[in-house]
Structures are given as structure tokens and as C-alpha cells.
Structure 1
Amino acid sequence: MENQVKQAYEAAKSLYAQHGIDTDEVLKKLAEIKVSVHCWQGDDVKGFLNKDGELTGGISVTGQYPGAATTPAELREDLEQAFSMIPGKHKVNLHAIYADTDEQVELDRIEPKHYENWVKWAKEQGLGLDFNPTCFSHEKSSDGFTLSHSDPEIRKFWIDHCKASRRIGAYFGEQLGQTCVTNVWVPDGFKDNPVDRMTPRKRLKDSLDEVFAEKLDPKYHLDAVESKLFGLGSEAYVVGSHEFYMGYGLQNDTLICLDAGHFHPTEVISNKLSSLALFTNGILLHVSRPMRWDSDHVVIMDDELLEIARELVRHDLLPTTHIGLDFFDGSINRVAAWVVGTRNTIKALLRAMLEPVDALKSAELQGDYTLRLALTEEFKTYPFGAIWDYYCAQQKVPVREQWIAEIKTYEQEVLLQRDKSFV
């Protein structure tokens, strides 16, 4: 297999070289890209601070595949297994509810010490950490409102939680030497038509101003805000709309998070990148697959994923774009879901980096749309798979579908042992 992979790579390398594409350099650049892998795929967004709590906030995970992580140690074990099959060194995206502590602590009182085991583990694994306040699945969010709540005491609780989350994110960045992005998303909204759309948005703006008032070193910490079109229980009106957060992010130099599943079914985030990039210093992405709007399916290498990758590569946006994943599927092996989604995201970036971008731009500028179309189509069958196989071998992770057998072994030896009915 090793010789076959090498031979196929050399043959593909020569083909790409004819168009001025240095595949060795491409793989060096690819290895520098970090994808933020979301921890919540591993346990169906339950977390560890309130294990018996109901999942709310318009979030729903379907399926009861055995082996979901039930402790921080199990979740880290599963993540290690996933990363052993994913080329490159990446990041883990934590939600606040994934604290690793025996202490009974409320969300507005969380501190870096409650995540120290995550920091220690990330150092050992050579990983970065990102963070998110958890403004859902809590008694103080049961009516669907948090930072825009009409009750000042409840609003203060969520403000304090977000403040605490930012400090934890800054701690992650300082300890790991990698910038931590702390992303604020809230589920606030009405199920049916509201009379007053303005006042909740005014409250949300004021709350965010208070949350972000403390200045943190951007070397270690960046803030982001995330919009949504609608959610379960907020079908008629979401306080934090795209327009709201675009305005807020631009006015306050805060990263704007584009989630692939948070827009109208006919909208795509790939088409928004070039516009947003002209007015911001960076972008946060939540790459997902909205099969039926925000259904958060495992990322596959479909047209939209490829278009996202192409936009990032063609316009040199990778240095200022933070790529995170956001899907959760409880109907399949959860570790495999991480592997499939992350490998596909990296594959799409590789495929975009293996396109003759300069030649395509030149043809377009000269009005040679025939050449643009013809070259684009021909490159769809160029042997990027041979480059990917070589990259996986180079990074010492399984080549092609070899990882599936490893996942099956891990399932038998680890995941099924967690469920007594399968032992």
C-alpha cells in the first residue's frame, strides 16, 4: 500500500505541476490549518454540569447509538481516537457545560479551575481549545430567553455566565499559546408573532455591551457572535438575527459567526464570505450540513462544503478565518461522525488548494468564460485523491477507508463496554 500511495502521488504531482501547482507546498500549507472539532458530537450535547437536564433552546439530537461518552475522561478518550484518524493538529471546541469538576457550580460562577483537566490534556495532545457559553438547557432559559430576557435578574445571570466564559477562553489561550475563540449564541425568540421586536434586541445589545466590556488580549482570545434564522420554539422571531449580529460585529470589531445551518434553506454561507471579509478582521465558521434547515448532519463533501473551501482559498481568507464544526448525530457511531466530518472538511480545503486559481482568475478577467468553465470542469476529475492519500500517510493516519476497521475495533473494545446491554 505504501508504495502504491507514493507512486500515485508522484503521478498526480506531475499532472498538477503542469499548471504550476506545487503539491508539496500545498501539503505544507494544509498541515498548518486547524479545524476546531466540537466536543458535543460525542455525547449528544448533554455535558457534565447538569447531566439529567433536558436539551432545550431549539436543539434536538436524534438516535440512540450505543457508546455515548458519559464522563469527561470518556469524551477525551473518544476525541483522542478520532484525532488519531484525522491528519494534522487541530483544536477542540468546548461548551461551558463540559466542565470537568466534582464541584457543584452554577454557570455564572464557572472558573478556569473547572476546566483545568481539559487544559492539561490539550497540552499533552498538542491541541488548542475554543469555548462557548451554554445559554440553553437550564431552568433560567426555560422560557426561551437569556441575554434579552425582560427580567433583569435572569438577564444578569446570563451576562455573568458569558463574562465568566470569556475569562475561561482567555485562560485557554494563555495556557496553550493558541488563540481561543469564545462564541456567543443564544436561543432567544418567540414561537408566535411578537408585537415588539425592537425592545428584546435593545436588551440583547445592552447585555452584549456589558459582556464584552472587559478588554482581553486578542493574542490569546477573540470574541464571536452567532445568528440564527429561527429555531424550535422561536419559529416566528429570533432576537439575534443575522442583521442584528452583522451590525453588532461590524460596529464592535467582533468576529461574526456564520453557521451553515442558520439561514434560509436557499441561502449558503459560501456566498457571504467575500462580502463579510471586506469589512471584518476575521470570520468564524460553523461548518455543518443542514439537510432540512438546521438539522446539523455530519459534514459530507457536497457542493456547499467545496464552495466554502474555494472561497477561503481563492481569496486568501484562511489566515483570518476560524473553521469550526457543528453537527451532532446520535444515530451513528459518534467517533466515526467526527472522523468523517473533519476529514471531509480538510479534503475540501485540499481540493480547493489544488485548483489553478490564478489561471481561472486571469481567464475571467480577460472575459474568456469558455476557458474558465472548461478548466474548472476538467479539474473536477484531477487525481486529488492521490494527494489526499499521500497526505494521510505522511501524517501517519489511516489511508482511505482503513480507519473504518479501527473504529469498529474501538467500538467493540470501548464504546459498547459503556452500555451494559451490549456487554
Structure 2
Amino acid sequence: MTLKAYRGEILSVQHDPRHRPDATRHESDGLLVMEDGIIVARGAYADLADRYPGVAVENLPGLIVPGFVDAHVHYPQMDRIAAHGEQLLDWLERHIFPAEKAFADRAHASEVAGVFLDELLRNGTTSALVFPTVHAHSVDALFDAAIARNMRIASGKVLMDLGPDGLRDTIEAAREDSEALIRRWRSRGRLSYAVTPRFALTSSDAQLRLAGDLLAAHPDVLLHTHLAENLRECAAVIDRFPDAYHYLDAYDRFGLVGARSVFAHGIHMCDRSCARMAETGAGIAICPSSNLFLGSGFFDFVQADAHGIRLGLGTDVGAGTSFSMLFTAGLAYQAALARGTALDPFFGLYLATAGSAALLHIGDRVGSLELGQEADFVVLDSNATPLIARRTAGASLAERLFALQILGDDRAIMRTYIMGECAWDRNAGGSS
């Protein structure tokens, strides 16, 4: 038994604060105690300190929040971040598919996976749902790197039998590779598997049916794909599935819409599809950075809330322009304001932590620093830059949090902890 204790200002938002007035938990002088990486006590330092005599307490000078949970990101696309000049479908053809073809080389996949996960840690992200490529070893490379860093990562081989040359699989290979990967990686370390058809246009009906069969055969895995991101994409899907009621129905008819389904984007949704999503318990990973970068549009928070859709937050690198979930939460605020809604900064933190964790079905393990959860957390620095320091001096908690979301990025991450161990230390220049 190994006990560790950290003292500092602690903040978490376990539930959607728009609907639960008790969702936000804050200790201005708190104590976080963990045993072998699991939280066993949290509360005011004055109330808890005497219960743990002899346990060394480390003082952390910043704001302690749960480790960020990125609900949608592409690791093979990181080297094409900030690729100029196209909306979604043309951007894929010009920039992304050529980059992903390089992942036929396992050594390349391993090198990128390590850099990618280190970038997540540098930005305070401790858990993520990650797109790899069509190559089975792209999943192996990512999971090997995640095991080495003890990170909580979900991923799965991309299915795309209608993809371009060099990124096209077959139904037989998709089945064999997916089953083998599930057997190899299920329940290893802190990993989980996701059946991952790229999107409706890149898989045949037979392959989409296969994806549904995989979900039915393995009820513990996730479904991870894209939905209603771009108007031209939406029109192409309706052309491909002329008898579908809407884009979501193109997935639903193959058994891909359920409580463990995570759909990225969802910014062009009709009310009928929203109602179906809420009925099934499926959820949306909101990706405001990539939606803005590719000119796709703005997510409709009012519509989603009216239907009670579960929401998380994703950076969607490489269409997304930053690995920072702070920055992405700030963009979510701006996207909502473009539609006339001002999001509360505590809701932004919820989306980036407990909301995304619930969407990935790991909310019992991470996301809110509650008892029994794994001790993944981040120390935020309100003095990270002269401007942030000036803006937050004497500010309320809500004002400080909002300033960090609007002005913050990787520089505001002082330290990142995995299971109570420091995995990134800005002052030490990297991994700890």
C-alpha cells in the first residue's frame, strides 16, 4: 500500500452544471489522498490532514482539475495540422489520406504514436478516444505507447473498404483484424476498444453491417465515427442512402446507434435525428476547433440540450488546430455564442472532463476526482503568461477558469499526473 497526498486548490464538475446546481465541487485549500493511484480521500485540508499522520503532503501551487478527456482526435493526422485551403472532403483527399498511407510502415506509426501521446500529456490530456488508420498495426503502435505511459486510451482499426488506394481494406480483413485486436488488447492496462468505421461514405453496406455485428458480439466496445460535419458531406450521404430518413439513420439501419456510440461533430442535425440519438443514449463529441477551421459550421447547443443528448468535447486534431482542451473549451464558448448562447465556464470544464468521460463510458474511473477514481489530474497555472496573470489577478473562480479557457493553452499546464504520478512537468522540460 502506497499513500500519496497533494494539497492545493481543487476543482471538478461531475455533472452538467446547467441542470445540477450541486455539480461543481471546489476546495480552496484541499487535500487529495490516493492509494496506489486510486483516490481514497478528498476534502478540505483542515478536515483531512489529521487523518493521515505520517503521510508526506506535496503542495501544488496551481489549480488542480481532473485530467482532460479528449473525446475525438486523430493521431495519424498530427503532422498535417494547419493544412491550408480546403473544406472537409477535399481536405481529406489532398492532405489526410496521403499522410495516413505512410502508416503502412509500423516504425512510422510507432514514432508518431509516441510523439502524439506526449503531446496529449503536455496539454493535460490523460484519456482520449483516438482514430488510428486502416492498418491494424497502427492500433498496436498506439496501444503499445499508451501502455508505456499508463494512459487511458480507446481506439480501434479504421474500417473503410470504399477508401482510396492504399487505405482500402476488405470486409474479411476488417473482420479478422478487428477480432484479433479486440482479443489482443481488451482489458490490457487502461485500454478499451472502439469499432471505427471512418464515416458512412467510406464503408460499403456490408462493412457497416459487419461493424454492427462486431458491436453486438462485443458489448463492451465503443462505436466511434463521424456524423453530420459538413454540408457537402451530408448531401453526399443522402445521395448514397436515398431511403434514409437522415444521416444518423444511415448508421442506425446497421445497428450502429446505441448507448456506446460516439459520433464526432453532429452540427447539421434535424430534430428527428436528435430525438433518435437521445432515445438510444448515443452521444456527440463536439469539435469546435475543426468545425471552424474547415468552415463546417457551429454546434447547436440549444438543440442538443432540448433533446437531452449526451455531450463530450474533442480537439479533432489534425482538422482541429490545437491539442489543448482548454483552448477547445474556449472555442466551444465562442461557437455557442455565434448561435446566441453564452456557455458557463464550469460547463466548459465539465465537457472537457466528466462529460467526455461519461461519453466514453469511463466516468466511473476518471473525470471528476471522486473517491474510487483513478488519480489523473492536471495543475493549471493562472500565471502562465503575463496576460493571463494580469487578467486573473484578484478574479473570482469563474473568471479565472474562463480566462484560462479563452487565453490558455499548453503553457497553462504546469503538471500532468497519471494515477498519482507526475507524467509531465513543464518546469522539468517534459516527461517526469
Q: Of Structure 1 and Structure 2, which has the larger fraction of its residues in helix?
A: 1
TM-score computed with the length of structure 1 as normaliser: 0.49
**Bigger fraction of residues in strand:** 2
Max Rg structure: 1
TM-score (norm 2): 0.48
